[in-house]
A = this chain, B = another copy of it.
């Protein structure tokens, strides 16, 4: 079933040469279309050791302008630094920009199957990885990526022959490592694991192509023709939006913002000072434990302009060891960020385990400002609820404590704070024309925020509303929630 690929039957030598030439020319033209229409292309090469991944990639890229591609060479085992992040982190970090190709010289398949063969990945963990991979690949294709996956297949005998030849050559022997040799001796066992993985991740939008790689020209032709045909399909799909998916995440019921009571949510200066001190001491202690137990923590802030996010964050960080946290203020994406999946700039900012990352504005921009300002299509932001739930589940399954705050004030309070800022020379920098423009769209924002709270408050990553007409109240509430969540995780 998996041994299908679009290249058909191996042609005779004469036809092979003709088709190779035609396919190379076509890829040369194809890259122009990819560039013109801003399609990002991810090409994954997996396969047996000595099957010729590297040299095949070398042949393919000859047809592409060097400014338009990258080759990502992934180590079979992640570095110590990478191990402290979620499994997909190092792969997500390498996804191509719009209009460009990234060729992966092995990737997530190799890592997963090596872990299984080493006995480091049980059935349950394997299934979780599969789900991550399927979502990763589907999110890419849903967001307009062309994803092509090749497995270069040679048999045990051919592999042995090639490895012996490489080992005899002083300049090439480094290319055969201990794992390759082990793989050759344990061919049957490996084949079983590979077949299972291929079958488990053979999804319709990113199918596997098993490439008969014994004849190198034939392998090149198959890969070229499949890439070309993939580019054609991608061109036809340019205007096609991906269907919305049924929600599969358990949701927590959230109130509409209009139902959130703000009156009476206040603290006296005295109570505030006392509580602040106690809570910060407690948090300081927890931060140490988090660090030692290597729990990753992500705290996110969204809220109305002038709601008091900055001051709230300060009261959290005031309790933290500066070596163990980072605050990420999120502004509009830069060109290189805009050219990738919108979650890319958050994936690449994830904390190491034991560290705390605080996001001042977040990935929820997709369903607020990007929705309201038309920075993405309707289909894009409607799909984003599920994509964000998937992302957050990825984080919590990794073991992260994820705390999401919505800082809430009413419209009058905002007006007062805007006016105060305007009148205070020391605070004028904090208020811009854009703030006033956003304020005019308050009602539209409220609709979007209500939908966001309803659709992304999952049991594993619920929203917390901070009533912030009295900023002191909101700060104390935030500290208490952070402390409670950390304690839960440390238990």
Contact: B207 with A4, CB < 8 Å? no
User: Least Cβ distance of A132 to chain B in Å?
Assistant: 10
In this complex, what residue of B is CB-closest to A142?
B243
Within 8 A of B (CB), among A378-394: 379, 382
Contact of A251 with B8 at beta-carbon distance under 8 Å, contacts A230-B246, A236-B244, A240-B244 already known: yes
Contact with B along A293-336 (1 / 0, CB 8 A): 00000000000000000000000000000000000000000000
Main secondary structure of the interface of A (DSSP, over half): loop
Please tell me if A255 contacts chain B, counting CB pairs below 8 Å: no
Bound-complex Cα distance A128 to B3 (A)? 13
Identical chains in the assembly: 2
Please tell me if A367 contacts chain B, counting CB pairs below 8 Å: no
For A240, give its contact among B138, B242, B246 (CB under 8 Å): B242
Bound-complex Cα distance A205 to B204 (A)? 11
Please tell me if A13 contacts chain B, counting CB pairs below 8 Å: no
Contact: A241 with B241, CB < 8 Å? yes
Contact: A6 with B249, CB < 8 Å? yes
Chain A, interface residues (CB within 8 Å), range:
35 or more
Residues of chain B lying within 8 A (CB to CB) of residue A246: 6, 148, 205-207, 226, 229-230, 233
Bound-complex Cα distance A437 to B400 (A)? 66
Bound-complex Cα distance A170 to B363 (A)? 60
For A128, give its contact among B1, B205, B240 (CB under 8 Å): B1
Contact: B248 with A207, CB < 8 Å? yes
Bound-complex Cα distance A226 to B250 (A)? 11
Within 8 A of B (CB), among A64-119: none
Contact: A205 with B8, CB < 8 Å? no
- A residues adjacent to B (C-beta < 8 A): 1, 4-9, 127-128, 131, 134-135, 138, 141, 148, 199-200, 203-207, 209, 226, 229-230, 233, 236-237, 240-253, 379, 382, 459
15 extra A-B contacts, CB within 8 A, seeds A134-B204, A148-B246, A226-B246? A4-B249, A4-B250, A6-B246, A6-B250, A9-B252, A205-B243, A205-B245, A206-B246, A229-B246, A233-B244, A236-B382, A237-B243, A240-B243, A240-B379, A241-B241
